[in-house]
């Protein structure tokens, strides 16, 4: 009995040693890693709108010095359609001043400043006020302040956007003025005070008039 037990113990020990040696030689399989799919959204510029899928929408770039006036038509305070191209064809120099909202204090100062200097300006340039206000609001503003020039209504901010005078992507306009000569942008002044807008626009128009005399 004792001899048989010892023999059985030796066999079991030898078997365990063989299994250990085989396990050392067996290749170790790498752990399986489940990759999680990450949904990416197409990139778009910070100031450019995107659709519901995140795709960049096409948008025209701001006008720069030397660019031609866009082929757009806007309504004036009398609900008449005014072609920007036609304005440029009929007037060598055209001044557009942008104001945020009709009948507010700063915009009133700006509009009245152009009114008070209109006699000097009209000798050399056509003057137009421009804002996102409705036709009705423009008419009230013109009548109340006795403005001698047309006010253009741009509720979708199409022209205002092309001029680079949008305040935010969704709403608002930046006080500014722009001067076109022979249908091309010559002066671009964005984010200025009412008084600076009037004074600088008049100065720029008179400088142009002097240059024209030398031609």
What residues are annotated to the active site? 107
Alpha-carbon span 93 to 163, nearest angstrom? 16
Backbone torsions φ then ψ of 17, nearest 5 degrees: -65, -40
Tokens describing residue 117: 């200097």
Backbone torsions φ then ψ of 129, nearest 5 degrees: -85, 150
Given a contact cutoff of 8 angstroms between Cβ atoms, the answer to whether 133 and 141 are in contact is: yes
CB atoms within 10 A of CB 170: 8
Alpha-carbon span 99 to 133, nearest angstrom? 10
Reduced DSSP (H G I as helix, E B as strand, rest coil) percent helix, strand, coil of the chain, to 5 = 40, 20, 40
């Amino acid at each position: 009995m004792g001899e048989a037990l010892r023999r059985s113990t030796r066999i079991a020990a030898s078997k365990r040693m063989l299994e250990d040696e085989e396990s050392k030689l067996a290749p170790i399989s790498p752990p399986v890693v489940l990759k999680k799919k990450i949904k990416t959204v197409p990139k778009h510029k910070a100031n450019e709108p995107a659709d519901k899928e995140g795709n960049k929408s096409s948008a025209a770039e701001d006008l720069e010095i030397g660019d031609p006036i866009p082929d757009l038509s806007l309504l004036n305070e009398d609900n008449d359609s005014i072609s920007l191209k036609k304005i440029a064809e009929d007037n060598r120099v055209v001044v557009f001043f942008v104001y945020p909202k009709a009948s507010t204090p700063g915009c009133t100062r700006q509009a009245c400043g152009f009114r008070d200097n209109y006699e000097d300006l009209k000798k050399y340039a056509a003057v137009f006020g421009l804002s996102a206000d409705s036709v009705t609001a423009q008419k009230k503003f013109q009548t109340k302040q006795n403005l001698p020039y047309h006010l253009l209504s741009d509720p979708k901010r199409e022209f205002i956007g092309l001029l680079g005078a949008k305040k935010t992507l969704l709403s608002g306009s930046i006080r500014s003025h722009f001067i076109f000569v022979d249908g091309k942008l010559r002066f671009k002044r964005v984010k200025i005070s009412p008084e600076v807008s009037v004074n600088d626009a008049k100065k720029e128009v008179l400088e142009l008039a002097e240059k024209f005399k030398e031609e």
